[in-house]
Chains A and B, each alone.
Chain A
Amino acid sequence: MFTIRVNGIAHTVDVSEDKPLLWVLRENLKLTGSKYGCGQALCGACTVHIDGQPTRSCVMPISAVGDKQVRTIEDIGNEHIGGLVQATWQELNVPQCGYCQSGQIMAATALLKDNSSPSDQDIDKALSGNICRCGTYPRIRKAIHKIATEQL
């Protein structure tokens, strides 16, 4: 039995200690916004915030979460910057298939919380762990700059 805090709510789940946080979120808590893409922290589709830090939930065993705060795409809109990122993503039609976008938005939100005027190099560094096969990178970059220049 593990009790984890997700989006401000404590959940107790009866799962094996090595079950990755991603699958606890998706299967036990029915929070399916975080996606499975590679299972090896190579693609970033599973990115969530753990105590504010973007983290690959597909390789984090539930036993390692402890009492840290987990925040997912379902709740990120309740943060000021998370909401700005979602709104700008919509405005610029960033998503195509959309499958990687939860992870992209979590990574972009973490970047902008940390750095209100990121350079292209900062964006490269923060977002290059997140793969998009539809090729939405140029619009992601544009959206991040737009938020930084117009709203932060």
Chain B
Amino acid sequence: MSKLTKLSRRHFIRVSVMAGGGLLVACGGGSSSSKNNNTSTPPTDNGGEPTNPAEAFQVGEFMRISTDNKITILVGAAEIGQGALTAIPMIVAEELDADWSQVSSESSPVAARFNNPYFANLLQFTVASSATRGYFEGQRSVGAAVRQMLVNAAAKRWEVPASSLRTESSYVIDDIGGRRASYGELSSEAAQERVPTNPSLKNPANYRIIGSSPQRLDAADKTDGSFQYGIDVDIPNMLTAVIARPPRFNGQALNVDDNAALAVPGVRGVYTILGGVAVVADDFWAAEKGRKALQVQWNELLAGRTDSDTQRNAYNLRLNLPGLPIRIDGLVLTAQLFASETVSADYYFPFMAHAAMEPLNVVVDYDGSSAEIWTGTQSATLDKVFAGLVLGLLPDQINFHVMPSGGGFGRRGNPLADYVRDACAVAKQIRQPVKVIWTREDDMKGGYYRPAAAVRVSASIDSANNITAWTHRSVTQDVTALLYAENLLDSLADFTLPPLKELTDFETGMPYKIDNVLMDAHLTVNLNMPALWMRSVNKFSDVFAQETFIDELALKVNKNPYNFRRDLLSEKPRHRAVLDAVADAANWGFPASGRSQGIAVMGHWNSFVAQVVEVSVSANRELTVHRVVSAVDCGTAVNPDLVIAQVESAVIFALSSILFGEILLEDGVVQQSNFDDYPVLRMYQTPAIETIIVNSGNPVGGVGELGVPCVGPALANAIFGAIGERIRELPLTRSNFKIA
């Protein structure tokens, strides 16, 4: 009935007939322990073990074609707003030659077969702009294989060679015989066909769906209130909890007086968990009132005492000390010795909060022997591992539902699963379905921020005005160092850690033709100051320093910042192409009257971006950002409109960080709490945004973060053009700009 064929060492697909007709495709990868049965046929190869509900779900399908010609594709990447539920099905549909209007998508269960190939097939992990580029090739292979099976089934039915048939919009067509059959009609027969090992893939020139911009598949549900996020999950007998947390990170409850809290109508109980006290109630409002009535004394002997000012001084001191070398080209010391001048600049960036619109929340239904969990997450595999550790359950005993997120920006991709662990700790005590809701204040004060960073860059110039040496030193908290902490490795037992270098790497891709380069970094570990990646991670700070300083050098040698970059990028055609494209689109050199322009360029995530920002600054330092023009080369744009939307999104996200973004700590206590003291960009502050896609035809690159890092330096360079002042720290409100 079903067949298993290796497409590669790490991928297999199996195709079978669905109960009641239709075709079911299961796609696997990553785990040798994957069970190979499916839900539509009796299990034949699971060793006779009983299949419990969670297991049945885990071995579910990847894609199904039903007899009415409808195609459903399950997506392993999390939908966090970037359009994963649209872009990834487009890839399958392309090679399948599907009728896009009949395609729908759903979030997949948490199972090895949905792991992201980008992370060596080890994790479902939607970070590092890796969804589309990570899943791209695998999705193509599955689509192409199933298409071939449909063709083969039709060839058998009509007794003609498969090579005489073609496919179009979910039909197999026999031009000679003048007949056609829908995929739905053929699906049951196709399921009997051998799965091709090396299905031929389309020539990109023949793409019909990839490269087009159909409407997002989730657009309708996101405009009528019916789209379900984690916070909307509602199950019978569900209680609601909020958690009182210590003012300082890693404090613990010492004494809890819950009399007043328990007296609040609707409050059901108060439970102390590791790192907090949960108030459980019939509804959110009662839980919140109960928490306000709660009296907790905290033990903060071992709690975090991070202080923004103190930390800044410490980081600045470390800028004077050599760090861990991360890029060495040539001989910087020698070049500096022979230089006619060496100049340098120091930069500082504060902690910042992700502040996604949907505050964190988790629903857990734990009955002592199994659990069901619903949450919006970018890190489902690790969340499930930690949920199992807290609840004492095996993975097969947990049915984990990845809900679409109301924004993530990295905060929902915490490899330490902080918010899932908390919710499981509450559920373990009450053994009744519970939704743990973070208020905005909880979310803002709850840690896991973009870490503060200090950067020093220097350049050496010879007597002919050539840049002969470049140094770049970063000091920041390292997210990966935290991950590899010993106690965590123990708890994960033999779980293999993913290759995380790409996630946290410092910007070593300084693209300019400079012979002698030294980049080094100080990776600080502070377990009492939870830090995490935030959209574009270290590129935000490293590229800011690089691209503002290169502007300074240009002016120092009397060159136009655009031409100066262009000359130094003679061996970097893709950087140069986006730089030229943006200069052209923004009419570089000719800003509107009273305005000033700044430019910046970078490459990362296998993609390239250049941006021009146009500003004006009034006499009383009122800053207006008028226009941001971006040119991006992401190799192949699967859905160009989604790419443009991501760049628009990134520009606005970056502006919030650049203009206002700052989490301040005083003696370990976070000072911000909500959107009044942590402002983000609003409609009236939003510039005109134009985005050009430079189609290079290269392999698919990432776009989720691409539009973030260059906005800051381009903006700072424009400010210099306007008022002759260099920006060396963020946010700009620190430099007394008023934001118009």
Contacts and interface: CB of A to CB of B under 8 A. Distances in A.
A, B co-complexed: yes
Given A35-B406, A133-B656, 17 more contacts: A16-B266, A19-B283, A23-B283, A32-B231, A43-B440, A45-B357, A73-B225, A74-B226, A93-B216, A97-B407, A98-B404, A99-B358, A123-B683, A131-B680, A133-B653, A134-B649, A137-B681
A16 B218 CA distance: 36
B735 interface: no
Interface stretch (B55-63, B75-83, B538-546): B75-83
Contact of A97 (B266, B285, B359, B406): B406
A3 B375 CA distance: 33
Interface in B210-237: 213, 215-216, 218-229, 231-232, 234
A20 interface: yes
B322 interface: no
A52 interface: no
Contacts of B683: 123-124, 127-128, 130, 137, 140-141
A95 interface: yes
A85 B223 CA distance: 9
Interface string B339-370: 00000000000000001111100000000000
Interface in A85-103: 85-86, 89-91, 93-102
Give the 9 A-B CB pairs with smallest separation, nearest first: A33-B225, A135-B652, A99-B406, A97-B81, A98-B222, A73-B225, A96-B81, A124-B684, A95-B222
Given A20-B285, A35-B231, A137-B683, A98 B218 contact: yes
B501 interface: no
A99 B686 contact: no
Most B C-beta atoms less than 10 A away, residue of A97, A131, A140? A97
B682 interface: yes
Most A C-beta atoms less than 10 A away, residue of B222, B231, B283? B222
Interface string A4-29: 00000000000110111001001110
A134 B81 contact: yes
Interface in B268-324: 283-286
A128 B685 CA distance: 9
A66 B234 CA distance: 27
Nearest to A72: B225
Interface in A50-69: none
Contacts of A89: 219, 223
B551 interface: no
9 contacts: A19-B283, A28-B283, A33-B225, A36-B231, A43-B357, A90-B220, A93-B219, A94-B223, A129-B682
B224 A96 contact: no
B357 A96 contact: no
B407 A133 contact: yes
Interface residues of A, number: 61
A62 B215 CA distance: 38
A132 interface: yes
Contacts of B283: 15, 19, 23, 27-28
A116 interface: no
A61 to B, nearest CB: 10
B225 A74 contact: yes
A36 B656 CA distance: 21
Nearest to A74: B225
A127 B681 CA distance: 12
A95 B456 CA distance: 39
Contacts of A147: none
Contacts of A96: 81-83, 645, 649
A99 B219 contact: no
A134 B284 contact: no
Contact of A136 (B229, B285, B649, B675): B649
A137 B689 CA distance: 10
Contacts of A85: 223
Contacts of A132: 357, 652
A123 B408 CA distance: 27
A71 to B, nearest CB: 12
A132 B408 CA distance: 13
A37 B357 CA distance: 6
Contacts of A39: 439-441, 674
A152 interface: no
A42 B437 CA distance: 18
A113 interface: no
B641 interface: yes
A42 B215 contact: no
Contacts of B161: none
Most A C-beta atoms less than 10 A away, residue of B240, B284, B688? B284
Interface in B528-576: none
Contacts of B409: 133
Contacts of A15: 283, 285
A18 B292 CA distance: 14
Contacts of B689: 138
B650 interface: yes
A32 B359 CA distance: 15
